Structure 1
């Protein structure tokens, strides 16, 4: 018997004992379904969370003046090198260069203790005034509840318009008054309200967007008479998983803008928010480990059941094995036949298990939150490798037992 004939005989045996094959394959299918199903659901849910968090800064990184103050910093008793501040011109040039890769917003804090007036009413001197561009609210995930965002024209020419927080509206206007298109005063100028932010709330006692005013950054840059404002850039990567790559590209662009020489240190700082992206990946990793462990335990039980059935098969086919040996079949060919049968059963069960697992995993993920259809190619490949390993492991002992049977004793077996 050559190898091809052995494969055909093994497949014929699987077809002949169809009920046994179905039951055994079902055991393997259940194990693979649990493995692929859980891992598919985990990856699909993770993808949904990434999409949700992308608007909350999970794929953002910041570029700012080195040392954050732009002046000399002292560490370990030594005064470090002084680096110039990131100027408005630098930030605009970087934004234009980065536009081919993704979105970026330029902003600067003009004051953290401004007093806002409207007629006889005024706020406490604790309002934060920030100069921003048209992409700031999109990238920072801040929503405008009423009114609109700044237009490109207003940003370009620095028009006296503003977007305000809800606390300022409640302080300066009566309940029945509409704050949109009304004027308020600060920094000695009048500004027209074109938008009101959604209520943000205040976490940790810090300054809240509810108590803030945003004006076009071109307008704010005119107040920088001494050149001391710190201009910050927040760039958005294409996805949370590509942040490191996009940060590397952004570093090269910013070094070109700042004219940092070869071998010189960066004259700026670039950082990313590690809390959301890395925590998400860490949690997903733990979930994968848990899902893989549960699925693996199920597969171990399935492999024991397969081994038991194959041992029974060896006992049932003792006379058949004796006839094959009498006709010249070697122990190697006998082992191959039973191993091929075991692997075939595992692969058949694995195919059905993968199909069910993908379906169940995506159903669970979409039940939790709307999302697309995910096909985990990596876990499919891993599952089929596991099927082959389980088939080899479960079939080897029965195959070895069959190959060692004495042909004469086998022919006498009833």
Structure 2
């Protein structure tokens, strides 16, 4: 093993490589086993996130090196059974980071900011040292950071209602919303709600869109209603409508009333459409331009970083007004066509009007068939007066045609426990091997 002391918060997010140099996942946490004596907990393995957002257990004996830039596995079989914490175990980052503790012998208060694991001559790893930040007596300065032996820190083990979130958020901040959503599902309900509440409104809105509906509802219910309304305002209107559709009529109306009127109105409109139709799954804010706009104008719009790829893949052309419902719908221009035209060209001259738009009542099965037929990632939706009211994107269709619980971590597993070889493969491992 390359390093004799490893700081675990610095491991989070590091890539895991097989002996051939191929990445197989990323480190998310470390697993420590509690002992019956006063000895520090034994670190028995690391939790790595693999493809399909599955977290698995990797025993410490499986690593040839743990370095500041990467973790490397030895050869063997990887057991893909989803990691589940045992009763005598703790997840170091989730359970200990940000915990309020006291330093012995004088009971000085502090907050855990990192933990180090050390290895002995036999190769056993244990949580030997704890980095604790003491409170500062001056408001303008950070407290002193001290590194202590495990037995000098009181309050590390056992239930606590005084665990903060700052350190854990620092570890999680580089994750994509989908990966952070998966991390939240791995946490206890209390810890999940604490972390979710500590995220800013925009980040939490993005993460909620990646969670199963029951988790969305529970997190929203744990927020005060003013904060919940603020988060709903940051969500895409179609995602907010889906979430509000899971609530009671009374609760839904209360939150809509707390939202800014211009943010609530498109959500109210989407809630009027029947489930399973284009109106119920469309986004009401596609990229819309008038026919006298230039190709340069269109390219500037679809470059906006906040636009999802499926929304930015095409521009819809309509008469004024530009907010949905627009004036008369004229057609659409795919971004590839825009790239082939001079920047000064008028998009009204390159618009494709040959694809019939959807109606709000068009069922999902028909939407799927037509998008597949024309190889489209988005289709316009118009009302009876041929006004553009929104667009259905391919991710909207997938979200609503997959099983309702497809985002749930316990459902997305494909053959839990199936081993996969890390070349060259020895005999398969069965069950969870901590060695």
TM-score higher than 0.5? no
Q: Per chain length, whose mean CA-contact separation is higher, i.e. which structure has more relative contact order (CA < 8 Å, sep 6+)? A: 1
Higher strand share: 2
Please classify the TM superposition score into its range, dividing by the shorter chain length. under 0.3
Structure having the higher Rg: 1
TM-score (norm 2): 0.26
The structure carrying a bigger helix percent of its residues is: 1
